């Protein structure tokens, strides 16, 4: 469950390392975001190797797609999946991916969303 003020890891190569959630999108007075939801984030820190060539700057505001949460994700079969960290992928204003690679694996539930492209960018899927 991601809410305003939550600090998240960025798992793409956009140059940002940590971001903070500002607002949960898609809903009036919506409080929590789960895997597959869009949020607005502010960049808090950058990766040290890519500070000079980074596509992002500290303090900028972006849209982000939540891809992992510590909170359990319930599957159709009844199983529950949880991750060790809360993490996101940064998007531009037009909902295009800023990074070109995604580090780590993603839940297979993204196969049934409009963000099908992230499956080809990631390392693997968790069933």
DSSP letter, residue 110 = G
The span from the CA of 106 to the CA of 61, in Å, is 24
CB environment 42-77: b (16+ within 10 A), e (fewer): ebeebeeeeeeebbbeeeeebbbbbbbbeeebeeee
Q: Please give the average per-residue pLDDT across 8-23, as a whole number.
A: 95
Q: What is the reported pLDDT for 50?
A: 65
Sign, Cα dihedral of 38, 61, 20, 10: positive
What pTM did the predictor assign?
Answer: 0.90
Q: Is the pLDDT of residue 30 over 90?
A: yes
Query: Where in the chain are the domains?
Result: 7-126
**Contacts of residue 27, Cβ cutoff 8 Å, sequence gap at least 6:** none
Q: How many Å is the maximal CA-CA distance in the chain?
A: 46
pLDDT in tens, 57-102: 999 999 999 999 999 888 778 888 889 999 999 999 998 999 999 9
Q: What is the reported pLDDT for 46?
A: 93
H helix count then E strand count, the chain: 1, 9
Rounded percentage of the chain residues whose pLDDT exceeds 70 = 99
- Which residue do the tokens 């939540």 mark? 66
For the segment(s) 7-126, the CATH number from 2.40.150.20, 3.20.20.70, 2.60.370.10, 3.40.50.300 is 2.40.150.20
């Amino acid at each position: 469950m991601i809410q305003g003020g939550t600090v998240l890891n960025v798992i793409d190569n956009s140059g940002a390392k940590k971001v903070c959630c500002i607002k949960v999108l898609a809903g009036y007075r919506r409080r929590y975001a789960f895997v597959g939801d869009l949020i607005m984030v502010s960049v808090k820190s950058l990766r040290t190797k890519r500070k000079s060539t980074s596509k992002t700057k500290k303090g900028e505001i972006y849209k982000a797609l939540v891809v992992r949460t510590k909170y359990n994700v319930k599957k159709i079969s009844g199983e529950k999946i949880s991750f060790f960290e809360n993490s996101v992928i940064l998007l531009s204003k037009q909902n295009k991916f800023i990074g070109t690679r995604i580090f780590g694996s993603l839940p297979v539930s993204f196969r049934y969303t409009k963000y099908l492209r992230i499956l080809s960018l990631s390392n693997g899927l968790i069933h």
